[in-house]
Amino acid sequence: MKPIRIFLSAIMMVSILSVSVFAAQTQDRQIRLLLQRMTLEEKIGQLTQYSYGMDLTGPAGEPIKPEEEIRKGRIGSLLNATGAEKTRELQTIAVEESRLGIPLLFGLDVIHGYRTIFPIPLGEAASWDLSAIEQSARIAAIEASAAGVNWTFAPMVDIARDPRWGRIMEGAGEDPYLGAEVARARVRGFQGNDLGRSDTILACAKHFAAYGAAQAGRDYSTVDISRRTLHEIYLPPFKAAAEAGAGTFMNAFNELNGIPCTGNRYLVREVLKKRWGFDGFVVSDWDSIKEMIVHGFAEDGRHAAELAMHAGCDMDMMSAAYIAHMADLVRQGKVPPAQIDEAVTRILSVKKRVGLFKDPYQYCSPERERELLLNDKHQAIARDVARKSIVLLKNENGTLPLDRDLKRIALIGPLADNQTDPLGSWSAKGEDKDIITLRRGIMDAVSSNTEVLFARGCDIDGEGTQDMAEAVRVACKADVIIAALGESKNMSGEAHCRGDIGLPGRQLELLQKLQATGKPVVLVLMNGRPLTLVWPSQNIPAILETWLLGTQTGPAIADVLFGKVNPSGKLPVTFPYALGQVPIFYNHKMTGRPGVKGQAYRSTYADIPVEPLYPFGFGLSYTQFSYSPIRLNRAKVAYDEIANVSTTVTNTGSRQGAEVVQLYIRDLKASVTRPVKELKGFSKIDLKPGESRKVTFALTAEDLAFYNQTMTKVTEPGKFEVFVGGNSRDVLKAEFTLLSK
Ligand code: GLC
């Protein structure tokens, strides 16, 4: 068959299937009748989203008068409009003053909390506690929905393997399995089990897809990866979000292998809508439709609108390309009316799922807004989630936990009494004044006999050292020094990448001066990405990775510092030894000459090790855990049988503690090379001193599957290694053979 006919038949196939999903939706009589009453302009109005007011989260577009546009039926959704009163006012215009009275969706980036701000998502992922992560999203939904917001542009589920990329803070790190589990938990938290309830909000899996694979770790940069890497590494969290019922997806800004995601028919119509059967709608990212002109993929705004609609982008965020050009494109036969009807039907179906046809004002409750935002219950949960997110990277000579009766503590550093940065990026309606700082948290935690001294020491960034001498003088008076160092909230997040991932400014110099006093130093890191920490790892006895923990920063860190809580976090992303190793991730390939230090002609560096400083899944505890040798239910596993992998974990220390037991596999030989390890399971267990628990993982043939040379998902017979441990490096190993079918 000639290529062109293959192409046409593929398009027909894709159109047929996405139409069948659409057909199912038009079975809904209410939506079908409404669609029949809509003019083409009103349909295109539903495909249009604007940012309200000057609350911009992207480059400013052409100014509009939203109220007038709503009255004319030229807007289907607003983003950045919040508050029960304001959203009620705008919804009233849509419902009572436009011809058809179709309610608006109100979207906002509720990424890690609405007003009660939780740890940045990368920090929450470090908890490996799916119920805590779900609860965090649940509370974000309760608060946001009380303030008129019924759609969040979250979860961000982009896999990130490059710590230079600022948006690594916004996702769940480098691993597809953990990323998928976290994606499910977050969608469940936002949407609950009934999206029509007034305390649930529509989720949005973003940014579709492979946004985190940006070359050079620079935001919006080119993505060029193999289709296998796309499907095996970057898509699993999106598939998980779709399976969890996420009502919307968002296009990514980047191109993928030469085609911008917003105009990428393969991604949206073939994979998302056809193969995965996604029945929600897809919104572009901010102005990403028109940015296809800049990409060099679209001729002009009109052509960009045509390409985006053909590719399955249902709603236009902020480029105004659809509202400007779509009617002409339809009238000139460039865009089939069926595509418009499909997009409108998807959007109306989601609005109905959200409950807006039943009661368009159910989210606009000033009473609930007053009662729920930042209440004590939410704060207590935020503190608990924050504690669980903290990772203990080093604890020599039992430096931690500290005694709360210490005579004098010196708290030094630009993050120590910081009333701004701990909220992290994308902090929605969180307010600086709500932050309980580390200084406050420590002062509330210590006994009345303890004096807490404070000095800033230096700025987060820049060359200023004017306060350094004073800080050292203060430190010399103390029994213990706590150094609170790291990044500002604007050093990570969108368009905030770093070409150097060390401690910014003169902070390392400050730390070295504090260490030189000879006093014990505890390093508390507050940052939005992995940092390079070689000197601290070699010279500082105790290091806590606390990310950016949000409103409850101080109490959560103090709970861990003084042992009220035993740290249980594990790294969701590799911490490199040096930037030169990047990209570095645990699930790498073996190669033909694996890096073995000291051996010639090997995949090594002359000047640095190949191993990371702290590996994926790493985190210590104030207690210790032992693992019994792995037990397998059978050494030879038939194709349709389950391989049970067990170990008994014992708390051999003197304190209660939680351990994240991790299961990895390796396919030793296959028709396509496989990674040296792949995470395939984890279980966070809580053990009292001396307590033991058997942990069993069940592996099926599906768990062992990969995409072969023809990109067909297969499981091949042969030898597999399994690994169990408390991180991806220090593991026990066993082997089984999968038999042929
Ligand atoms: C931004 C971000 C996206 C966000 C959207 C709306 O540019 O890329 O994640 O949801 O615009 O604020």
- What CATH number does residue 79 fall under? 3.20.20.300
Expressed in angstroms and rounded, the spacing between residue 250 Cα and the centre of ligand 1 is 9
**Residue 669 pLDDT exceeds 80:** yes
Ligand 1 atom closest to residue 58's alpha carbon, by position in its atom list: 7
Choose the residue to mutate in 50, 286, 319 for probing ligand 1, maximizing ligand atoms within 8 Å of C-beta. Answer: 286
User: Residues 664, 561: one domain?
Assistant: no
CB 479 within 8 A of CB 519: yes
Residue 275 structure tokens: 């193969």
Residue of 48, 21, 51, 46 lying closest to 35 (CA atoms): 46
| Cβ 44 vs Cβ 335: under 8 Å | no
Residue 301 lies in a domain: no
Give the Å distance between the CA of 500 and the centre of ligand 1: 25
Backbone CA torsion sign across 609, 122, 282, 217: negative
pLDDT tens, position by position, 331-383: 999 999 999 999 999 999 999 999 999 999 999 999 999 999 999 999 999 99
Share of the chain above pLDDT 70, in %: 96
* Judgement on whether residues 390 and 430 belong to the same structural domain of the protein: yes
First to last CA, the chain: 34
Task: Choose one of 219, 285, 287 to mutate for the ligand 1 pocket test, by most ligand atoms within 8 angstroms of C-beta.
Answer: 285
Q: What is the pLDDT of residue 25?
A: 58
Both 442 and 319 in a single domain?
no
3-state secondary structure of 418: coil
Q: In 3-state terms, what secondary structure has residue 480?
A: strand
CA separation, residue 519 to residues 410, 482, 513, 522 (Å): 10, 10, 11, 10
Do the Cβ atoms of 523 and 544 come closer than 8 Å? Answer: yes
Chain-centroid distance, C-alpha 304: 29
Look at residue 737 and tell me whether its pLDDT is greater than 80.
yes
CA of 286 to the centre of ligand 1 (A): 6
Question: Which ligand 1 atom minimizes the distance to the CA of 153?
Answer: 10
549 and 426 in one domain?
Answer: yes
For residues 602-629, average pLDDT: 97
Q: How far is the CA of 461 from the centre of ligand 1 (A)?
A: 26
Q: What is the pLDDT of residue 59?
A: 76
Residue matched to tokens 């898509």: 235
284 assigned to some structural domain: no
- Cβ-proximal residues to 599 (8 Å cutoff; 6+ apart), any chain: none
CB 229 within 8 Å of CB 587: no
Domain that holds residue 5: 1-108+312-365
Q: Return phi, psi of residue 202, to 5°.
A: -70, 135
CA of 219 to the centre of ligand 1 (A): 12
| Omega within 30 of 0 (cis) for the link into 536 | no
Pocket, ligand 1, Cβ cutoff 6 A:
57-58, 79, 109, 153, 206, 285-286, 494
- Which ligand 1 atom sits closest to the C-alpha of 253? 8
Distance in Å, CA 734 to ligand 1 centroid: 45
421 and 485 in a common domain: yes
Look at residue 420 and tell me if it is in a domain. yes
- pLDDT value at residue 465: 79
What pLDDT digit, counting tens, does each position of 227-268 carry?
999 999 999 999 999 999 999 999 999 999 999 999 999 999
State whether 350 and 400 are in the same domain: no
Q: What is the pLDDT of residue 596?
A: 85
Supply φ then ψ for residue 707, to 5 degrees.
Answer: -95, 125
Closest C-alpha to ligand 1, atom 10: 153
**Per the structure block, which two tokens stand in for 561?**
């510092």
Return the closest-CA partner of residue 164 out of 244, 230, 97, 221: 221
Task: Tell me: do 685 and 553 sit in the same domain.
Answer: no
Residues 473-482, mean pLDDT to the nearest whole number: 98
The owner of tokens 């289907």 is 76
Report which protein residue has its CA nearest ligand 1's atom 8: 285
Q: Provide the edge-to-edge strand list for the sheet that holds 77-79.
A: 151-152, 105-108, 77-79, 48-51, 316-317
- Is the dihedral angle over the CA atoms 444, 415, 557, 553 positive or is it negative? positive
Residue in 77, 494, 496, 497 to alter for ligand 1 test, most ligand atoms within 8 A of Cβ: 494
Q: Are residues 356 and 389 in the same domain?
A: no
Q: From the CA of 149, how far away is ligand 1's center (Å)?
A: 16
What is the whole-number distance in angstroms between the Cα of residue 206 and the centre of ligand 1?
A: 9
Question: Does residue 22 sit in the same domain as residue 76?
Answer: yes
Is 619 within the bounds of a domain? no
Hey, which bits of 263-421 come out as E strands? 281-283, 316-317, 391-395, 408-412
What does the pLDDT read at residue 7?
42
Nearest-atom number in ligand 1 for the CA of 156 is 9
Q: Domain containing 570 — which CATH number? A: 3.40.50.1700
Last residue of one domain, picked from the residues 529, 553, 581? 581
Q: Is 384 a catalytic residue?
A: no
Q: What percent of the chain has pLDDT over 90?
A: 93
Residue 709 CA neighbour count, 13 Å, CB half: 4
Q: Identify the residue whose C-alpha is closest to ligand 1 atom 11.
A: 286
Tell me the per-residue pLDDT of 380-417, one tens digit each, with 9 for 90 and over. 999 999 999 999 999 999 999 999 999 999 999 999 99
Percentages of the chain per state (helix, strand, coil), in multiples of 5 = 35, 20, 45
Distance (Å) from CA 562 to ligand 1 centroid: 39
**pLDDT at position 504 over 50:** yes
pLDDT band at residue 17 under the 50/70/90 scheme: very low
* Statement: residue 2 has pLDDT above 80: no
Distance separating alpha carbons of residues 158 and 234, to the nearest angstrom: 7
Q: How far apart are CA 586 and CA 675, in angstroms?
A: 9
Q: Please spell the DSSP secondary structure of 608-622, one letter per residue.
A: S-SS-SB-TT--B-S
Q: State the closest ligand 1 atom to the C-alpha of 207, by its place in the atom list counted from 1.
A: 9
Longest dimension (CA), the chain: 85
Domain match, 418 and 475 both: yes
Quick check: 212 and 225 in contact, CB under 8 A?
no
Average pLDDT over residues 480-500: 98
Verify cis geometry, omega within 30 degrees of 0, for the bond prior to 155: yes
Average pLDDT over all residues of the chain: 95
Task: Categorize the per-residue pLDDT at 26 as very low, low, confident or very high, splitting at 50, 70 and 90.
Answer: low
Query: Residue 27 pLDDT > 90, yes or no?
Result: no
Are 423 and 333 members of one domain? no
Is 272 domain-assigned? Answer: no
**246 vs 242: CA distance, rounded Å:** 5
The count of structural domains within the chain is: 3
Question: Which of 12-21, 89-98, 228-237, 365-374 shows the lowest per-residue confidence on average (mean pLDDT)?
Answer: 12-21
Find the angle CA(51)-CA(56)-CA(61) to the nearest 5 degrees: 65
Q: Which of 49, 77, 153 to mutate to test the pocket of ligand 1 (most atoms within 8 A of CB)?
A: 153
User: Closest Cα to residue 691, out of 726, 646, 659, 660?
Assistant: 659
Same domain, 416 and 558: yes
Q: Which helix (H) or strand (E) holds 151?
A: strand 151-152
Mean pLDDT of the 522-534 span: 98
- What the block records as the tokens of 333 is 């036969």
Is residue 170 in a domain? no
Of 529, 549, 581, the residue at which a domain comes to its end is: 581
The band of 741, judged by pLDDT with boundaries at 50, 70 and 90, is confident
Query: Which is catalytic among the residues 285, 459, 559, 667?
Result: 285
Q: Note whether residue 436 is domain-resident.
A: yes
Residue that finishes a domain, picked among 551, 581, 611: 581
Q: 740 with 648: CB under 8 angstroms?
A: no
Q: What is the pLDDT of residue 23?
A: 55
pLDDT in tens, 270-298: 999 999 999 999 999 999 999 999 999 99
Ligand 1 atom 12: residue of nearest CA: 57
Q: Which CATH number fits the domain that encloses residue 645?
A: 2.60.40.10
With respect to residue 375, please indicate whether it lies within any of the assigned structural domains. Answer: no
